[in-house]
Amino acid sequence: MATFSRDIAVHFSDTDPAGILFYPRYFEMASALVEDWFAEELDHPYHLLHRGMAYGVPTVSLDISFSAASRIADVLRLTLGVAQLGKSSFTLDIGAVCGEEERFKMRQVLVYAALGDEPKPTPIPAELRANMERFLIA
DSSP for 81-127 reads: EEEEE-SSEEEEEEEEEETTEEEEEEEEEEE-EE-SSS-EE-PPPHH
Per-residue pLDDT of the chain (138 residues; tens, 9 = 90+): 799 999 999 999 999 999 999 999 999 999 999 999 999 999 999 988 887 668 999 999 999 999 999 999 999 999 999 999 999 999 999 999 999 999 999 999 999 999 888 889 999 999 999 999 999 997
Domain ranges of the chain: 4-133
- Direct distance between the N- and C-terminal alpha carbons of the chain, in angstroms, rounded to an integer: 7
Long-range contacts of 17-23, Cβ-Cβ distance < 8 Å, separation of 24 or more? 19/71, 19/72, 20/69, 20/70, 20/71, 21/69, 21/70, 21/71, 21/74, 23/66
CATH 3.90.1300.10 fits 4-133, yes or no: no
Q: How is the beta sheet containing 120-121 ordered, strand by strand?
A: 55-56, 113-114, 120-121
DSSP for 52-90 reads: IS-EE--EEEEEEEE-S--BTT-EEEEEEEEEEE-SSEE
Spatial distance between the Cα atoms of 24 and 35, rounded to a whole number of angstroms: 17
Spatial distance between the Cα atoms of 4 and 36, rounded to a whole number of angstroms: 9
